[in-house]
Structure 1
Amino acid sequence: MGSPSYADATELAGAIKSGTLTCVDAMQAALDACAKQDELGAITHVNPETGLAAALALDQEASVYPERFAQRVFAGVPMVAKDLGGPFPGLPVTAGSRLFTRTGKGEDSDLAERFRDAGLCAFGLSTSPEFGFSLASEPAIGPISRNPLDPSRTAGGSSGGAAAAVAAGIVAIAHATDAGGSIRVPAACCGLVGLKPTRGAMPGGPSFGNHLGGIASELAVTRSVRDTAAIFDVIRGKTRGPYADIAQHPAKTGKLRVGLLTDTGRHYAIESDRAQAVEAAARFLESQGNELISIRWDEMESAVQASARAFGDIISVNIAGLIDDLKLDVRLVETMTQAFIMRGRAMPATVLWRSLNGAVRASRTLWEIFDRVDVIVLPMLAAAPPPIGSFPTDHSDTDLHLERMASFAPLASLANISGFPAITLPFGEDDEGLPLPVQIMAPMGEDKLLLKLASVLEVEQRWQHRFPIAGFPT
């Protein structure tokens, strides 16, 4: 992978391994930055003791077992977990809801164990909307997560707190989840790299097993493609169910067939500068010796529409089942969450079945397109990050809420419903200095191909981070 010209988690880990700073130094700097940037709303819960204990243990390992320490990819790098998803010990999750309290020690998970094995030290939880039901991270219980590039705008959702923390330099890398664009949308809002991995590539056990019927994946938001590639390699594989452990293919070499989705503007109001950035990225890949192939909107339209329907139906029945199974008090959740619960409870099994079959057909449609292209370059966002409050949850119109999200990120849920991997990264900036994101999709098991192409685009350096990483030596 090409080496970016700005600090990232890989560089921070290198500084720690070289002895320029200790793990505890790095952790204390992250904790200080977290306190100093509290108004950003990126982090909803902090446990300094957990973070410092993890950092101290690694400093001790570095002196006693230096070879083991050196093998940890991100040795001593501070991180935050998301307040939704696979749990981390010492960080009890509330899913952004007043239904739960931060009591107990927090559960552990296969995912958290692998983050620790990489040398990452979790000290807090990033802000998420209630149960992840928004593309803005503004839970009623607070805090409101703001975009570091323009605090009047959203950092995205549902991993908005994670993206804000990384973009602001509080941490260099953060755990994130993606069920309908929730890694990629915040990354796109904040000028970061976000990979939604192939279904089955990430561990989901032992207690978070089904991940919304397979549409959700977990990984991270980062400041560089090489960080994403490194954490992907550490976390992936041997998932122990419920989905097949998809084999990863080596990144293809030689001339690639790059598909460019055209004419999306007929159905979605994608701003011209964002559409132009997508075409520019595809043209740049063509200039590197690849073949550019146009993909008409009508070839993908049915899959996009089926994915949107399936996403809305799956999240509705999922939250209804969770509330009923745990016998939780529905009156404690936000109005929009209550509406999704009612929608899920009222949904006939035949309606859900049609949506699930539609999802299967959407996957088949994509497979047929991938018979003639290796990847597809397409928009991530239709517009710049909107102002805070653009995705209100104090009403009960679920169709309106889903439509608002689809209008902002019209091609996000396609990767979740199909199970295919997709990555976003910035490829330029608009007149207001906000990132112009690009999305690339590939067939199942071709995550490394996505990372390879993303690194090619990144080397162009059309985007530079605005804030240094806390504790990074200057």
Structure 2
Amino acid sequence: MSRPLFADATELAGAIRSGKLACMDAMQASIAACATHEDIGAIAYLDPEMGLAAARAMDREASELPERFAARSFVGVPTVAKDLGGPFAGLPVTAGSRLFRREGTGADSDLASRFRDAGLCAFGLSTSPEFGFSLASEPAIGPICRNPLDRTRTAGGSSGGAAAAVAAGIVAIAHATDAGGSIRVPAACCGLVGLKPTRGAVPAGPSFGNHLGGIASELAVTRSVRDTARIFTAVSGKTRGPFADILQLTVQAAPLRIGLLIDAGDRYSIANDRLQAVEAAAQHLERQGHPLVALAWAQFREAVAASTQAFGDIISVNIAGLVDDLELDIVAAETMTQAFVTRGRAMSATTLWNSLNGAVQASRSLWEIFDRVDVIIMPMLATAPPPIGSFPTDHSDTDLHLERMAAFAPLASLANVSGFPAITLPFGIDTDDLPLPVQIMAPMGKEALLLSLAANLEADGRWQHRYPIAGLAA
């Protein structure tokens, strides 16, 4: 990937690798930035000593093992893990809930080990809604995560804290997870790049297993396509499962058939500026020699409905099983979480089975569309990031909550339920100076194709980050 128009984690790593900046200096700058930007609520837990120890070890490696030091993709770059997902040793995850205490830090997940091997130095946890059940990151235990671009608005969810931290420059890259848009929605809200990988491309073990029935993926939110490409390369593959290394790392020659979806039917209302951004991105690619193929909402209607249903059913059964297995006192949870537990406990095996079969059919219908096109470009969000409080969890109407999320990001869960990779990035600015995101989806294993097209759009220069990265000069 060519150098982007703005600073990113790759540039920060380059400054550290060349000796212009010590790892310790970068870490101290990130820790200081946590205090400077405390008002956005991006950080749920901070361990400065852990970060300083990791930076100190990296600086020592620079002098004692220079070749190993130089080979790390993100050498010495500070980062935060999400307060939900595969664990990072020493960081006590609570999933944004009172049901867990900040203790029992365990061992690294496979993914966390690969983050560290890439040179990333974790020093805290980013804010997540309770159990990730929201497209806003406003857990009752706090803090409320706000969008750095407009503090009256959400930073998205459930990786909202990660996105806010990266957009504000606290860190240049942050761990994130995506079960129903939770990487892509916050990235879209905050003007970042977010990739939901192909199912199975990134390790989910050893203890994360089949969490959420395979709809969840882990990776990161970043400031640039090249950062996303580098972290995906650093952590993907060799997942000790079937077909773990089938990823196609080469991009086929142009022309590519670009499927264009800018019709959301009468179920969802997508703002004109969001649709226009998608159309502009498609036309940009058309000017590069890629023909456009118009797609109709009717081709997606049943798959989107099945994906939305499957997402709601899977998270309900999952949380009910977790609470029962661990014998948790559910009365300490938020009202919405309690309602999802009740919903999951009451769900019959037949209902869940039918929902899972619907998900299989959704995946098949997408494969049929990909017989006609190589990628699909579509809206990521229906509107600009809504105000804080737009996804309340102090009520028990799970259907209303799920509908509110689907209305905000109607095409998000399709990638999770089908297992297909999808990427979002900003392609323009609206009248409130907020990013206009687009989403591109590809067949399974085609991350390289997504990254190539995303880099092409990024190079058009329609978005510029507003906050410098801690440790790098503005």
TM category, shorter: over 0.9
What are structure 2's unaligned runs of at least 5 residues?
none
Counterpart secondary structure, 1:405: helix
Provide the residue aligned with 1:388 in structure 2: 388
Matched, 1:219 2:219: yes
Matched, 1:406 2:429: no
1:107: Cα distance to partner? 2.9
Provide the residue aligned with 1:173 in structure 2: 173
Provide the residue aligned with 2:207 in structure 1: 207
1:152: Cα distance to partner? 0.3
Provide the residue aligned with 2:96 in structure 1: 96
Question: Distance between the aligned counterparts of 1:100 and 1:176, measured in 2?
Answer: 20
1:253: Cα distance to partner? 1.8
Residue 237 of structure 1 aligns with an amino acid whose one-letter code is G
1:287: Cα distance to partner? 0.5
Q: What are the within-5 Å matches in structure 2 for residues 449-468 of structure 1?
A: 449-468=449-468
Question: Distance between the aligned counterparts of 1:212 and 1:22, measured in 2?
Answer: 40
Moved more, 410-419 or 266-275: 266-275
Does the Cα contact within 8 Å between 2:158 and 2:182 map onto a contact in 1? yes
1:103: Cα distance to partner? 1.3
Summarize deviations over 1:418-441 as a string: whole Å, max 9, x none: 000000000000000000000000
Count residues with an aligned counterpart: 473
Matched, 1:69 2:69: yes
Provide the residue aligned with 2:247 in structure 1: 248
1:469: Cα distance to partner? 0.2
Summarize deviations over 1:396-424 as a string: whole Å, max 9, x none: 00000000000000000000000000000
Provide the residue aligned with 1:6 in structure 2: 6
Does the Cα contact within 8 Å between 2:88 and 2:105 map onto a contact in 1? no
1:105: Cα distance to partner? 3.5
Provide the residue aligned with 2:437 in structure 1: 437
Distance 1:473 1:18, change over 3 A: farther
1:340: Cα distance to partner? 0.2
Matched, 1:281 2:281: yes
1:216: Cα distance to partner? 0.3
Provide the residue aligned with 1:60 in structure 2: 60
Does the Cα contact within 8 Å between 1:15 and 1:473 map onto a contact in 2? no
Does the Cα contact within 8 Å between 2:140 and 2:334 map onto a contact in 1? yes
Matched, 1:324 2:324: yes
Question: Distance between the aligned counterparts of 1:427 and 1:264, measured in 2?
Answer: 19
Does the Cα contact within 8 Å between 1:257 and 1:373 map onto a contact in 2? yes
Q: What are the within-5 Å matches in structure 2 for residues 294-443 of structure 1?
A: 294-443=294-443
Question: Distance between the aligned counterparts of 1:165 and 1:262, measured in 2?
Answer: 31
Does the Cα contact within 8 Å between 1:95 and 1:129 map onto a contact in 2? yes
**Percent identity at matched positions?**
75
Does the Cα contact within 8 Å between 2:262 and 2:275 map onto a contact in 1? no
Counterpart secondary structure, 1:411: coil
Counterpart secondary structure, 1:175: strand
Question: Distance between the aligned counterparts of 1:59 and 1:104, measured in 2?
Answer: 29
Question: Which consecutive aligned stretches of 4+ in structure 1 deviate over 6 angstroms post-superposition?
Answer: none
1:266: Cα distance to partner? 3.0
Provide the residue aligned with 1:469 in structure 2: 469
Does the Cα contact within 8 Å between 1:211 and 1:217 map onto a contact in 2? no
Residue 196 of structure 1 aligns with an amino acid whose one-letter code is K
Residue 396 of structure 2 aligns with an amino acid whose one-letter code is S
Question: Distance between the aligned counterparts of 1:10 and 1:183, measured in 2?
Answer: 20
1:254: Cα distance to partner? 1.7
Provide the residue aligned with 1:135 in structure 2: 135
1:39: Cα distance to partner? 1.2
Summarize deviations over 1:106-126 as a string: whole Å, max 9, x none: 431111100000000000000
Question: Distance between the aligned counterparts of 1:447 and 1:438, measured in 2?
Answer: 16
Counterpart secondary structure, 1:80: strand
Question: Distance between the aligned counterparts of 2:266 and 2:191, measured in 1?
Answer: 27
Question: Distance between the aligned counterparts of 1:246 and 1:355, measured in 2?
Answer: 29
Question: Distance between the aligned counterparts of 2:419 and 2:345, measured in 1?
Answer: 26
Question: Distance between the aligned counterparts of 1:42 and 1:299, measured in 2?
Answer: 38
Counterpart secondary structure, 1:220: strand
Provide the residue aligned with 1:30 in structure 2: 30
1:245: Cα distance to partner? 1.1
Question: Distance between the aligned counterparts of 2:10 and 2:211, measured in 1?
Answer: 29
Question: Distance between the aligned counterparts of 2:347 and 2:109, measured in 1?
Answer: 32
What are structure 1's unaligned runs of at least 5 residues?
none
